[in-house]
Amino acid sequence: MLEAVNLSKSFHQHQALSDLNLKIDPGQIYCLLGANGAGKTTTINLFMNFLEPSSGKALINGLDVTEHATETKKYVAYIPENLTLYPNLSGMENLTYFSRLAGKKYDKEQLGDFLKQAGLQSTAFEQRVASYSKGMRQKVGIALALTKDAYALLLDEPVSGLDPKASNEFSQILLQLKEKGLAILMATHDLFRARETGTHIGIMNEGKLVASLESQEIGHQELESLYLKHMN
């Protein structure tokens, strides 16, 4: 569902991403680990066609995102570190607006079901988003992905700034989406969540994928040691 083929991106003399090869099938969660500037967000932005690759390809459902920008966006949903919602609208109103913007029409009961699936308490549906915590806003983002009926989900530091309870709740939702068959690519600093949630883990350093493994192959301490080894 998501594939990078020799994907590279440079900004003038800076090589932000170098020959990335990556494949994520339906029902897999691939967690990209790395320090700031390692190339994680660049990878996400290339898949979203926010950036044009210097060389190589980013493919969604077998289609090159630069050649099929409109069609590939139908298959994917994106949740950035800080999701932009309208603060003076309720969660329900935001969901109504953005789902209609994407060409989807649902009644209020259906939209409520999406918010429930995303883990948002029903008492918050009609509250203004300005009063929401970051975790609550991220749940609206998950609900938006559900309304879009996305095949793939791209997440850029989605648990950054969340407390442990909210982070755990978010991870549980991702596992449910994995069971639904979504292909998920998540950029994160959180080694623990990557090991607990991901089916696969990649470690990036200076624009290169320096390690890639299945999460069940490695324990938490081993992962930390491997990560630190590649950061030196």
Q: Which CATH number does the domain housing residue 9 bear?
A: 3.40.50.300
pLDDT band at 136 (very low <50, low <70, confident <90, very high): very high
Enumerate the H helices of the chain as residue ranges.
40-47, 69-75, 91-101, 108-117, 134-148, 164-179, 191-197, 220-231
pLDDT digits (tens, 9 = 90+) for 196-218: 999 999 999 999 999 999 999 99
Q: In what order do the strands lie in the sheet with 29-33?
A: 76-79, 152-156, 183-188, 29-33, 200-205, 208-214
Say if CB 173 and CB 142 are below 8 A apart.
yes
32 vs 36, which has greater pLDDT? 32
Sign of CA dihedral 168, 114, 149, 48: negative
Per the structure, the count of domains in the chain is 1
Q: Which domain holds residue 146?
A: 2-231
pLDDT digits (tens, 9 = 90+) for 140-159: 999 998 898 889 999 998 88
Average pLDDT, the chain: 93
Identify the pLDDT of residue 112.
Answer: 95
